[in-house]
Amino acid sequence: MAITIAAMPAYNEAHAIADVIKGCKKYVDRVVVVDDGSTDNTVDIAESLGAYVVRHETNKGYGAALKNCFETARKLDANAMVIIDSDGQHDPSEIPKLLEPLKNGFDLVIGSRFVNGNGKNVPIYRKFGMKVLDIATYIAGGLNVTDSQSGFRAYGKKAIEKINLNGTDMSAGSEILIQAKDYKLKFTEVEIHCRYDLEDCSSENPFIHGPRVLFRILKDMEYRRPLYYFSVPGLIMTSTGFLMGLIFLQDFLQGGSLRFGPTLLMVMLTVIGAFMVFTGIILHAISRMIFLNEHIRKQ
């Protein structure tokens, strides 16, 4: 019998997880807690409230816990899964809002802090960082959303079966969106609210989290979008070198002399840029072949 579950990664969330579990139980058939090596009594509280608990002996990271959420959903034959933070930042009463679009044929529903003009309570520095990650996620995967880093999402049966995470860190949210594009999952966004006034919030320092996620997205872009990663910067470098060459040539024809430093820089920009352009084109062709073979194999 197919069920609807709420799943949450948890690490030392004894102070908040009880309220989150109780809130989720009102709207789903079963609550799953993936304990990522907690040293407090998070597991005891979750088990006492009847949650299905998966334990990591050591802390493996958010992505690893999220991977276990999907594996457990498949094991339980879940027809739908809501991922929610265990620290109380998300409101479980908004779960029905995320589940509703799944009934209308959507595979992935993203709870967005910014859709419909929402997000007034989000700190400015977080908004800026999130927008940078939204743009990077779009370039890497081609999925245009307003909140790529949202941890409050709902997944239908197809998404549960298809998504298989490789990363272990906080970049898992972007990795899921990239895979959603690969598997042509139908997605939508709904408005949610998120609290930032919690004293024991488990969120990573945004000044550490942001660059780390961006670096991981760029690494994915190197593999998935080599034209953007190599060819676009290469084209800019080549164009710059070519324009410098025209300026130097004009000066030379008017009686000027070529200076060694700028001339060497022009040559390096042109040669390295051209190399990057052709590298991007070649890697793009190879990556398309790899993705095509993977798609055929998984069908």
- Out of 15-19, 223-227, 266-270, 291-295, give the one with best mean pLDDT: 15-19
The least confident of 32-36, 81-85, 236-240 is 236-240
Higher-pLDDT residue of 230 and 254 is: 254
Backbone φ and ψ of 194, nearest 5°: -135, 135
Q: Structure tokens of 289?
A: 């072949």
Question: Is the pLDDT at 92 greater than 90, yes or no?
Answer: yes
Q: pLDDT at position 223, please?
A: 61
Confidence of residue 68 (pLDDT cuts 50, 70, 90): very high
CA nearest neighbour of 178 among 236, 232, 125, 218? 218
Query: Cβ distance 32 to 54 under 8 Å?
Result: yes
- CA–CA dist 154, 160 (Å, integer): 10
Question: Is the pLDDT at 44 greater than 60, yes or no?
Answer: yes
Query: Once rounded to an integer, what is the mean pLDDT over residues 163-190?
Result: 83
Higher-pLDDT residue of 149 and 290 is: 149
Confidence of residue 77 (pLDDT cuts 50, 70, 90): very high
The least confident of 103-107, 195-199, 289-293 is 289-293
Mean pLDDT of the chain: 84
The least confident of 63-67, 142-146, 190-194 is 142-146
- Percentage of residues in the chain with pLDDT exceeding 90? 44
- pLDDT tens for 182-208 read 888 999 999 998 887 665 554 555 555
- Percentage of residues in the chain with pLDDT exceeding 70? 78
Question: Is the pLDDT at 169 greater than 60, yes or no?
Answer: no
- CA–CA dist 299, 292 (Å, integer): 11
